[in-house]
Amino acid sequence: MPVCCIGLVVHQGRATAQEAARAVHAWSEAHGVRCTEIDVWGEAQRRRSGREEAEAAGNPDLVVTLGGDGTFLRGARIAVRSGADVLGVDLGKVGFLTEVPAQDIDEALDVVHQGRAQVEERMTLTMRASRPLEIPAEMESLLRYGRGPALPPPQVRPETTEGDGWGCALDVTALNDVVLEKLARDRQVGVGVYLAGRLLATYSADALAVATPTGSTAYSFAAGGPVLSPHMDAVVFTPIAPHMTFDRSVVAAPDEPVALRVLPHSGQAAVSIDGQLRGVLDPGDWIGVFRAPQRVRLIRLHPTDFYGRLRDRFRLTDAPATAADGPSAPFFRPDTPIPPDLARMRLPPPTAAR
C-alpha cells in the first residue's frame, strides 16, 4: 500500500541528519504524503510514551529514522504503537539496525511507496513487575544527569488485574534489552534470577541484561554475551561483571520468561529499557521479562546479510593473523541452480556473493 503518513525521527545533533530530513520533507511534499517530525529529545516539554508520540504524529504508517541505532530504537518504540514499518537511514558508526545510506533516501522512499520493499520482523520483549515502575523525585535529577529529559514510567496494561500474585503488566516493548543495574558505584546489586519459573542462581553484579536476538549485539555482547541471528526468537540472559564463578550467558527459549528479584540485602536498582531509564526497584521488588506479542517491522530494500554486516562492523578479516578465504562460500555457487535440499535455506543473494 502507498505511504500515507510519515513520522520522522531526526538526530538533531548531526548536520547530516538535518540535511537528510530536508530530503524526506521534499519527497513527502512531492508525493502528497503527510510528514511530521517527532521530537523525542525536546528539552522544553516532558518526554512522552511511544503511544503518545505516535498519536501526536497522526499514527504514521511509516517511521523514518535519521541517525544511528539509538535513533532507530527511539523510532521503533513509536512505530510499534501504531503498527508502522520502520525505515532506518544509516548516519551512525556501528549500526546493525539502520539500513539505507543517506544518499539513497529518495530511492528507498520510492520503493516503500510502490510496495516493493521487504519487511523483516524482529522479536521484542515486554514485562511485568511487582509494582508500577517509578523514579523517586529525590534521585530523578541525579539519574538524568547527562541524559536529557527522562521517559515517563511505563503505564500499567489493563490485563494486570488478571490473576493474583502475577504483578503488574507494563506497557513496554523493547527491541534490544531490559537491563537491571546498580545505582551506587561502590555497591553491586544482588539479584535472584529465575528462568521459566525456577531459580537459576543469585548474583552480585554491576548489572543483568535480558536481551532479544537483535539486542545480542548491543550491551549483552559488550559484556561477553553470544551473538544470535536476529531471524530467530530467543531470550538471552547475561550477567555483567558478576562477582561469582558462573559468569556465562544463558540462551532461553522464547516462551521461557526471565524474572529478576532484587534481594533483601541489596541496594536499589535501576531498570532501563532499550537504554532508557524507566524506573527504580527497591529490595524485594521484581520484574519478569518475556517475549512480547508485538514485533517490530523493519523495512529492507534487499535481503539482510547479517553475518556480512557483523564481519564488516567488527573488521573480523582485518586482524594480522587472518588470511583471505577463497572467492566463494563453501557449497554456495551463486551462478548455478540451488539444489532442492537447500531451497528453504537463508542464503545471500547472488549480488552479495560476487
Q: Which three cell numbers stand for residue 145?
A: 544527569
How far apart are the two ends of the chain, measured CA to CA in Å? 33
Q: Which three cell numbers stand for residue 344?
A: 528453504
List CB contacts of 179: < 8 A, sequence separation 6 or more.
207, 208, 209, 210, 219, 271, 272, 273
Judge whether 164 counts as a catalytic residue: no
Nearest of 65, 78, 77, 85 to residue 17 by alpha carbon: 65
Nearest of 100, 94, 101, 102 to residue 315 by alpha carbon: 94
DSSP string, 333-347: -TTSPPPGGGTTS--
* Secondary structure (3-state) at 215: helix
Helices 15-31, 105-113: crossing angle, 10 deg rounding: 40
Cell 535513533, located at residue: 71
* Secondary structure (3-state) at 30: helix
- Among the listed residues 69, 85, 171, 177, the single catalytic one is 69
Give Cα 151 to chain centroid, integer Å.
16
In this structure, which amino acid lies at residue 116?
Answer: R
CA distance 49 to 168: 18
Residues noted as catalytic: 69
